[in-house]
Homo-oligomer: A and B are copies of this chain.
Amino acid sequence: MRRVRKGFKRYEYVDRALDRFLSSIEPLDEVVDTPVEDALWRVLAEDVVAGEDNPPFDRSAMDGYAVRSVDLSSASDSNPIRLNVIGYSTTGRPFKGVVKPGEAVKIDTGAEMPKGADAVVMVEYVEEGDGYVDVYKSVSRFENVSLKGEDVKKGDVILPRGRLVSPEDLPTLLSICMEAVKTFRRVRVGLIAFGDELVDSPGVGEGFIRESNRLMIRGLLANLPVDIVDYGIVRDSYRDVEDAVSKALDRSDLVVSTGGTSLGDDDVVAKVVERLGEIIVHGVALQPSKPVLLGLVGGKPYIGLPGYPVAAAISSHVFLIPSILKLSGARGSYTYPVVRGILTRRVPSKPGLRHFVRVRVRRVGGVVYVEPIYASGAGVTSSLSRGDGFLVVPEDMEGFDKGSEVEVILYRRVVDW
């Protein structure tokens, strides 16, 4: 039995740590009117209901001729049917008359269907003459017609409360002509880096380290509903940490710090959080990212991440992003690009810990190979930049053998494989 004197009494399993922390977090639930143009990457605070049908009228889905489909039932390549062209319907300038047997109206994509017509024949299938068209193809009823309300019916819920608005949602939001939409206020995230050894400037002295976690975490939170306030680098004396935590929590909905969460004399973050609030989890069974601190101060979530960038990155994905989503009111879970491939070397792991191994993926002759960068060591910062993603080894496994087919979570969006 190992003698553990002042260490973490035990490491909480990752899923259980996250569950316990998330269940202590309540969504902010503050609603703001947001111009639709600014809704991207915000969370909807209401079901968005269509106020009118879309399309608001039957309209052509193609450039061509609005026709009565019955007139063309026998039309074919060898048997063109001639129709008189009695007008032109364009967007904003619909044809006001009625299409009667033997007649057609020239029509643009998006233009209102004239009365009497029930289909559109594409311009490709007609030969235009002077006041008439010869049509070489039959059409079925409503062919190439977008019917009123076919896209959206008045009263339909077209976007649900809790939706994190993606680019693909904007056309729908805009199409129903809303000026503003109710969204949840963005999460104010306070960001601190603790460490006497850290500096922000490039010309660091011997023994000092240039701080990089804040910039990385900002990037990791891109496209999430956050406003980040950067409290900079703070020395890790008890007094400095306490001041910084208090100040940041006053003005933030969630505070995330890096460094000062393990068990050395300088690691006072846990002491401060314990005094100001409560620690929910300290120490997780996540390799390499054990010294994670999850707490509540004044009812607000506090996330202390390890100082090593590799560990800070991993625990940001595992704990920070889900916590922000919960606070934001977003429904659903974060998804990552994944790829399956063949492991080029054995990856060892310690049962009971969830390992995040940095790996490179390469495609050779149609086969994807997964190459572990380094099996251990949070200190090897370059494993992040040499890698493309994480191979996650679950707690109940003792690693993966060489040649195994494994799934990789990619953290890059553009992968050179």
Q: CA–CA, A49 to B416, complex, Å?
A: 19
Which residues of B are found within 8 Å of A416, using beta-carbon distances?
160, 162-163, 331-333
Q: Does any Cβ of B come within 8 Å of A366's Cβ?
A: no
Contact pick for A92, options B3, B197, B211, CB 8 Å: B197
Which chain A residues (162-195) contact chain B, with CB distance < 8 Å?
A: 162-164, 166-175, 177-179, 195
Contact pick for A338, options B195, B331, B337, CB 8 Å: B337
- A379 adjacent to B413 (CB under 8 Å): no
Contact pick for A109, options B177, B203, B264, B415, CB 8 Å: B264
Which residues of B are found within 8 Å of A415, using beta-carbon distances?
332-333, 335
Which chain A residues (123-164) contact chain B, with CB distance < 8 Å?
A: 123-127, 136-137, 146, 150-152, 156, 158-160, 162-164
- A417 adjacent to B123 (CB under 8 Å): no
Interface size class of chain A, counting residues whose CB lies under 8 Å from the partner chain? 35 or more
Give the number of times this chain occurs in the complex, counting copies: 2
Interface centre among A146, A164, A172, A196 (most CB of B within 10 A): A172
Q: CA–CA, A320 to B221, complex, Å?
A: 25
Which residues of B are found within 8 Å of A204, using beta-carbon distances?
177
Once A2-B77, A91-B209 are accepted as A-B contacts, the answer to whether A172 and B385 lie under 8 Å apart by CB is yes
Shortest Cβ distance from A215 into B: residue? B170
Which residues of B are found within 8 Å of A377, using beta-carbon distances?
61, 146, 150
- B212 adjacent to A91 (CB under 8 Å): no
- A164 adjacent to B412 (CB under 8 Å): yes
Q: Does any Cβ of B come within 8 Å of A410's Cβ?
A: yes
- A3 adjacent to B125 (CB under 8 Å): yes
Q: Does any Cβ of B come within 8 Å of A4's Cβ?
A: yes
Contact pick for A414, options B309, B332, B382, CB 8 Å: B332
Give the distance to chain B from A92, nearest Cβ to Cβ, in Å: 4
Once A109-B307, A125-B3, A386-B158 are accepted as A-B contacts, the answer to whether A92 and B169 lie under 8 Å apart by CB is no
Which residues of B are found within 8 Å of A156, using beta-carbon distances?
382
Q: Does any Cβ of B come within 8 Å of A202's Cβ?
A: yes
Q: Does any Cβ of B come within 8 Å of A7's Cβ?
A: yes
Q: CA–CA, A126 to B169, complex, Å?
A: 57
B-contact 0/1 string along A189-232, CB 8 Å cutoff:
00000011100001111111111110111111011000000000
Give the distance to chain B from A300, nearest Cβ to Cβ, in Å: 22
- B158 adjacent to A382 (CB under 8 Å): yes
Once A212-B171, A222-B222, A262-B63 are accepted as A-B contacts, the answer to whether A177 and B203 lie under 8 Å apart by CB is yes
Which residues of B are found within 8 Å of A217, using beta-carbon distances?
167
Shortest Cβ distance from A80 into B: residue? B3
Which residues of B are found within 8 Å of A318, using beta-carbon distances?
none
Contact pick for A3, options B3, B37, B137, B206, CB 8 Å: B137
Q: CA–CA, A293 to B147, complex, Å?
A: 28
Q: CA–CA, A90 to B264, complex, Å?
A: 11
Once A170-B219, A384-B169, A414-B335 are accepted as A-B contacts, the answer to whether A125 and B210 lie under 8 Å apart by CB is no
Q: Does any Cβ of B come within 8 Å of A94's Cβ?
A: yes
Shortest Cβ distance from A160 into B: residue? B416
B-contact 0/1 string along A389-412, CB 8 Å cutoff:
000000000000000000000111
7 contacts across the A-B interface (CB closer than 8 A): A7-B123, A62-B262, A63-B262, A108-B264, A166-B413, A332-B414, A335-B412
